[in-house]
Structure 1
């Protein structure tokens, strides 16, 4: 039986749809998904649902000096 994977793995560069804050997703905790900000503003925040998140675009990654995302 194939496993259906839904969500992003830790280390993914994500954007919070509600606040437009960008950060790196950390491993899930019982409180939700901690996000470490990449811009140095404030501490990390936690989202309860991945519906609030989207993967950063290649343009957003380039603005940080990162290469295009890859899927493996």
Structure 2
């Protein structure tokens, strides 16, 4: 059974960039990757090669206003 942890929050751009930088540094280190999700830390074991997918969505609506989304997915089978 999968162990899934989700957290959603509003952050300023610098805080988001810091979290992405932390993930980048963990991936570059080449060992385990620790990802903080809310108040929980998940330890992951990515191999040397991982899957990477990025989606960019731009929606325009006269009534709801414009909306932009970037989704980044990185996946792998643990070592």
Normalising by the smaller structure, the TM-score range is: under 0.3
Structure with greater helix percent = 2
Which structure has the bigger radius of gyration? 2
Structure with greater strand percent = 2
Q: TM-score, normalised by structure 2?
A: 0.25
Q: TM-score, normalised by structure 1?
A: 0.27
